Amino acid sequence: MTKKGIERGQSITFRVPSDTPDYLLKELSLLKEKERRNFSSTIAGFVLKALNESQTKERETVTIPLPKRLTKEQRSWLKHEHSEALIGSILYQLLNDPMRATTLLASLNSNSSNIDDALYLQETSITEETDEVTETDEMSLDNLDLDSIVLPEHEETKKEEENPLGDFFSSMNK
């Protein structure tokens, strides 16, 4: 005797358990009267929905907004079970080691195929920022000459205030 799996279109028969509460039996009766010939299809929909929800509850899911919309090909690639497993593993590894995430992002943004080059680019940008901070630390308020400070003209600010949204709307119309 060979065991066959369940196939699409195959009928499945089941018994309502004896410990089913009365209110559920009443709901099933009302549903059967309402749906008539489509009753089995409606019940099948309920069963499949419940199976899907129970499987989803077992897995930890996270919803993350993407920076751009996905193409049709990208969506179909995401629906593949191997793609889901790959992305899930990558995300889990990144959550375990956040420094690894920044390194990966730096390597992706640098267009470098070598990870060491990407790390080097990331380190140089950090050192440049610290140099700028040390220069501002050397300035002191004790040596500040108030006469040497140049204040902006008030006329320029009035011109900007006259049409603050004009540039925005013109750029939106392009």
For residue 94, tell me if it sits in a domain. Answer: no
For residue 165, tell me if it sits in a domain. Answer: no
For residue 168, tell me if it sits in a domain. Answer: no
For residue 32, tell me if it sits in a domain. Answer: yes
Q: pLDDT tens across 61-73, in order?
A: 777 888 889 899 9
For residue 101, tell me if it sits in a domain. Answer: no
For residue 5, tell me if it sits in a domain. Answer: no
- Round to whole Å and give the CA distance between 36 and 31: 8
The structural domain count of the chain equals: 1
Mean pLDDT of 128-145: 56
Asked if residue 94 lies in contact with residue 100, where contact means CB atoms within 8 angstroms, the answer is: yes
The pLDDT assigned to 30 comes to 93
- Round to whole Å and give the CA distance between 122 and 106: 6
Expressed as residue numbers, the domain containing 27 is: 21-61
Burial degree of 39 (CB within 10 A; 0-12, 13-18, 19+): middle
Mean pLDDT of 90-113: 77
Q: pLDDT tens across 9-25, in order?
A: 888 888 988 998 899 89
Cβ within 8 Å of residue 41, ≥6 positions away:
35
The mean of the pLDDT values for the chain is: 74
For residue 30, tell me if it sits in a domain. Answer: yes
For residue 96, tell me if it sits in a domain. Answer: no
Tokens of 6: 């369940």
CA distances (Å), origin 137, targets 107, 115, 130? 32, 34, 11
Mean pLDDT of 128-134: 52
